[in-house]
Each structure stands twice: as C-alpha cells, then as structure tokens.
Amino acid sequence: MNEILKFIKDAGIFYIATIDGDKPRVRPFAFAMEYQGKLYFCTSNQKNVYKQLISNPWFEASTMSKDGQWMRLQGKAIFDSNKEAKANAFEVQPGLEKIYNNPELFEVFYVEQGEATFYNMKGESRTIKLL
C-alpha cells in the first residue's frame, strides 16, 4: 500500500471514475492518506461522487507519473463515519478544513478489495492487491 500511496502523492492529481446510472463520470481528486493500514480518500456528502459511490461503491482511479508510468486502482469505496479517521485527514492535509469547513458534510472512505496495476511505456505491467 505504501507504493500505491506514494505514487498517488507524487503525481499530485488523480482521477476517480464512478457510475451514474449507466454512464461513467470522472473527476479529479488530490487527497489520499493511509489510516489504520487502509488507503483513504475524501469528499463531501453534497457532491454527486458521494451519491454515486453510495449507489454503486465500485470505482476506478488513475494517475500518471512525470516519467510516463501510470497506475489504475480499482476497488470498493467503504465510507467511514469514525471521527478519528476524519480528524486524521485534517491532520494529514490541514487545508481540507477550509474546503470542508462543515464536519457534517465531510466524508472519508477507504478502498476495500483494491487492486492497483502499474504500467509503463514498454507495455509492462504489475499488480499489487490491497489487503
């Protein structure tokens, strides 16, 4: 999981795809953290991405490194209402409090049944499963 989180953080921006009815929806994200051995992301419960993940928790994320490698991460979003998990997100990235200034709107979720595949321009790939 450390390799996956480092790749995401080094890239800076990554994209999460969800399903809205029968159509894919993709949007940029910039926050990821490790908490209690799990890979976490965050959003607002007022956003469509939250509603889409509640309706269908399966998602895929993708990002690319500056040297042309890329990663696809797929898994199931499990929302965590634990206040300590949310507090940890604010500690990891203090600027989140300005974006999500109402704790009732702030949501964190972790990846369950996750699998990340790394690719390079030579056509090589390798896969890491999240436990």
- Dump pLDDT digits (tens) for 63-103: 999 999 999 999 999 999 999 999 999 999 988 888 887 87
Q: Which domain holds residue 28?
A: 2-129
Q: Tell me the CATH number at 7.
A: 2.30.110.10
Asked if residues 130 and 115 have their Cβ atoms less than 8 Å apart, the reply is yes
Which tokens sit at 44?
A: 């607002």
- Encode pLDDT of 111-122 as tens digits: 999 999 999 999
The count of structural domains within the chain is: 1
Helix H or strand E segment including 83: helix 83-92
